[in-house]
Chains A and B, each alone.
Chain A
Amino acid sequence: MNGWTGQILRVNLTAQTFKKEPFSEEFARKWVGGRGFAAKILYDELKPGIDPLGPDNKFIVALGPIAGIPAPNTGKAVVAGKSPMTGGYGDGNLGTRVAEQLRKAGYDALIVEGKAERPTMLYIEDDKVEFLPADAVWGQGTYVTNDWIYAKYGKGVGVLNIGQGGENMVRYAVVRSLEGRAGGRTGIGAVMGSKLLKAVVVKGTKPIPQADPAGMKKVGHDDLREVHEIDKKTGWSIQSTNGVLAWCNEVAALPVRNFRKTHHPDAWKVDGERLNNARIATYGCPNCTMRCGITIHDDEGRESELDYENIGLLGPNLEIFDFPQIASLNYLCDEYGIDTMSAGCVLSFYADAIDHGAVAGDFKFGDAAGAKKLLGLIARREGEIGNLLAEGSLRAARKFGHGSEAYAMQVKGLEVAAYNCKFIPGMALAFGVSPIGAHHKESWVITFELKQTSRESYGPEKAKKVIELQRIRGGLFEYMVSCRFPWIELGWGLENYPKYFKLATGLDWTLDDFWTVSDRIYALMKLFWLREYPQTDRKLDYPPAVWFDPTNADTEGPIAGKHLEYDKYDGLLQHYYDIRGYDKRGIPTKATLERLGLAEEAKAAEKVGSLT
């Protein structure tokens, strides 16, 4: 089989055993890799109702047929498990040398089961797997842990690790890789921590099977240069992802003060120009052509790599407009291994809840020192508030009461990304229907709404656009596995991906073939959700209530007086369900499941929940 190694490595931490398991070409073509493999494995192997932080959950690393190949931006891996945040399927995607090394070790995926007796590091080198003690770094952050690993094995290995956040099972703990960044904000770092799995280290020496290795080498080499040239020409990476901050501020889409406001006169202080001016280094993932990791000094002189989401949610969202302070909060999140996005939203929620009298406390917007302290408490689950905020904003809101759930900025338990949708209906839909909880990576439609249609519209064109982008962003790039930036930010043609797929596998697929796989995976993620929540309802596909609240509307600026409207949003949601072939709960119908080749999976779902 070309393109895939054809092998999955299954490791059991309880028994300290491992085995290689072959998979068929049929499995490969149906699920392709990455999110597809992870969703199918978790759906088949997890019983509904298991504790995401218990030993029955599984930690998966999944790659795809172009992951790790020397081609544009292929140094990415999917990490997955049942999400401690949402209770549904959860995953993440991060840059890491593990993408290449695991494939060269001979595997397209790693499944880790059970729970170790003591802190453990898994070392995988081709056919060898070692269960090594990690006591020396248990309790340490991700930077110290990474240094310890590199000192043992050199810098050529691929490393995934967790910090104190994962060890203490903070629900939004992430998996870190210093060759990339972080991923798994659905709590996949906590899944590792629950298994006492501190790190996975991978080294591989075998060739990755490809249909046309000579062609792949030439094309990959040429394209790496071509995409890099496009970046140089457009200048995208000068301000990188943070170029969008100033734009969001202008069009009233910036998260300010727990998303209460949409713009701020001080936003310029933390925009892309200022970030570029403060740059001391730039980092990128393996095989990156347009390195997006602008790095600055934080207020303790440490290097801190920033992007728009970190800045938006740890900055203006907390009413902090000082780069060194934001960088310090970002550094701590990276060190502790907790998601910067959820951390920012949890802290902003806490400040807002105190402000509105839902809970007693002295943390205020703008208090960077207080935020730093709270991050430490969260990472260690220390004290009542540290322990509660480690649970995420929805669980904290349920404890605080006093209507605070309305302004916990989350969907299905996962906090939103740095786009204030109080009057951006299509993007609100994108958050609402993201299968893993609110996430912009699935679909992002704000420019479409402002340029191609109208901000006011709740029409089917917006639902169509959300689905179109889900098929690509949440589909193709999540199962091939590769970073979407060359396509989404530089306009590099989408046709390149079927090209690479053919060079790798020998298979000649059209883009429609890819969309069928995308739709299949999305439907399976919904079936996973149904089995966990048989009483699920369309209301769980709604964005935060505060965006519908007229008293929360802006009082000045471009969207003064405007807010989302429930009946119109529900209509937009129905457009989405109709196009997708989902029922009124947002669950795929039997006819849809049949069309997507999910008849067997549907039977398993019907044992627990009902299908229409």
Chain B
Amino acid sequence: MKVTVKLIGPFVQAFGFSEKQLDVPEGTTADGLVALVDIDKARPKIVTRNGRAVAPDEALAEGDRVVISPIYSGG
């Protein structure tokens, strides 16, 4: 299934892209997608799915937009 991954802030430089569409297996979870993009599980981040909070083990769906961001704290 096709999902869009968008990276925020310094993740763009760190992982080499800003936004791309990925073809991922059915049943891929949010955590699974983070691993596919090769972001270290331990790295502080917040993941949202279609603008909403997502549990790490939540399965994604076709057309989802997943945003992976470092933790911003309001400056």
A and B pair up: yes
A252 contacts B51, C-beta separation under 8 Å:
yes
A251 contacts B51, C-beta separation under 8 Å:
yes
A243-B8, A243-B9, A491-B44 are contacts. A557–B74 as well, Cβ < 8 Å? no
- Scoring B13, B14, B46 by chain A CB atoms within 10 A of each residue's CB, the highest score goes to B46
A72: interface (CB < 8 Å): no
- Scoring B44, B46, B51, B53 by chain A CB atoms within 10 A of each residue's CB, the highest score goes to B51
A476 to chain B, nearest CB (A): 15
A307 contacts B75, C-beta separation under 8 Å:
yes
A207: interface (CB < 8 Å): no
B10: interface (CB < 8 Å): yes
Residues of chain A within 8 A of B21, CB atoms compared: none
Within 8 A of A (CB), among B46-75: 46, 48, 50-53, 65, 67, 69-75
A235-B10, A236-B9, A491-B44 are contacts. A447–B53 as well, Cβ < 8 Å? no
Residues of chain B within 8 A of A516, CB atoms compared: none
A250 contacts B67, C-beta separation under 8 Å:
yes
Out of B9, B10, B52, name the residue touching A247 (CB < 8 Å).
B9
B2: interface (CB < 8 Å): no
A244: interface (CB < 8 Å): yes
B35: interface (CB < 8 Å): no
19 sample A-B contacts, Cβ–Cβ < 8 Å, listed by A number: A235-B10, A238-B9, A239-B9, A239-B12, A243-B72, A244-B8, A250-B8, A250-B51, A252-B51, A272-B8, A419-B74, A440-B75, A444-B73, A444-B74, A447-B72, A485-B75, A558-B50, A558-B52, A559-B51
Out of B10, B46, B48, B67, name the residue touching A236 (CB < 8 Å).
B10
CA distance A238 to B9 in the complex (A): 8
The contact string, 1 if C-beta is below 8 Å from chain B, for chain A 469-509, is 00000000000000001001101000000000000000000
Residues of chain B within 8 A of A491, CB atoms compared: 44
CA distance A419 to B72 in the complex (A): 13
A247-B67, A251-B51, A559-B51 are contacts. A488–B73 as well, Cβ < 8 Å? yes
CA distance A557 to B74 in the complex (A): 23
A272 to chain B, nearest CB (A): 6
Within 8 A of B (CB), among A102-136: none
A residues in contact (CB < 8 Å) with B: 234-236, 238-239, 241, 243-244, 246-247, 250-252, 263, 272-273, 292, 307-309, 419, 440, 444, 446-447, 450-451, 454-455, 485, 488-489, 491, 557-559
A246 contacts B8, C-beta separation under 8 Å:
yes
- Scoring B14, B70, B75 by chain A CB atoms within 10 A of each residue's CB, the highest score goes to B75
CA distance A263 to B65 in the complex (A): 15
- List 10 tightest A-B contacts by C-beta distance, closest first: A444-B74, A558-B51, A243-B9, A235-B10, A244-B72, A488-B73, A250-B67, A241-B75, A450-B53, A247-B8
B51 contacts A239, C-beta separation under 8 Å:
no
* 7 more A-B residue pairs beyond the given contacts A272-B8, A450-B48, with a C-beta to C-beta distance below 8 A: A236-B70, A238-B9, A246-B8, A250-B65, A307-B75, A489-B75, A491-B44
Out of A235, A250, A273, A307, name the residue touching B48 (CB < 8 Å).
A250
Interface size of B by CB at 8 A reads 24
B57 to chain A, nearest CB (A): 15
CA distance A252 to B50 in the complex (A): 10
A455 contacts B52, C-beta separation under 8 Å:
yes
CA distance A346 to B44 in the complex (A): 36
CA distance A410 to B65 in the complex (A): 33
A91 to chain B, nearest CB (A): 17
The contact string, 1 if C-beta is below 8 Å from chain A, for chain B 12-48, is 1110001000000000000000000000000010101
A429 to chain B, nearest CB (A): 14
Residues of chain B within 8 A of A273, CB atoms compared: 12, 18
- Scoring B14, B18, B53, B74 by chain A CB atoms within 10 A of each residue's CB, the highest score goes to B74
- Scoring B12, B50, B71, B72 by chain A CB atoms within 10 A of each residue's CB, the highest score goes to B72
- Scoring B6, B9, B44 by chain A CB atoms within 10 A of each residue's CB, the highest score goes to B9
A451-B53, A455-B53 are contacts. A488–B6 as well, Cβ < 8 Å? no
A238 contacts B51, C-beta separation under 8 Å:
no
A244 contacts B46, C-beta separation under 8 Å:
no
A557 contacts B51, C-beta separation under 8 Å:
yes
CA distance A451 to B6 in the complex (A): 17
CA distance A199 to B54 in the complex (A): 51
CA distance A557 to B72 in the complex (A): 22
For residue B44, which residue of chain A has the nearest CB? Answer: A491
B49 to chain A, nearest CB (A): 9
Out of B46, B67, B70, name the residue touching A234 (CB < 8 Å).
B70
CA distance A558 to B71 in the complex (A): 20
For residue A485, which residue of chain B has the nearest CB? Answer: B75
Residues of chain A within 8 A of B51, CB atoms compared: 250-252, 263, 557-559
B73 contacts A238, C-beta separation under 8 Å:
no
Residues of chain B within 8 A of A243, CB atoms compared: 8-10, 70, 72
CA distance A272 to B18 in the complex (A): 11
Residues of chain B within 8 A of A455, CB atoms compared: 52-53
CA distance A251 to B52 in the complex (A): 7
Out of A241, A454, A557, name the residue touching B53 (CB < 8 Å).
A454
For residue B65, which residue of chain A has the nearest CB? Answer: A250
Residues of chain B within 8 A of A489, CB atoms compared: 72-73, 75
B44 to chain A, nearest CB (A): 7
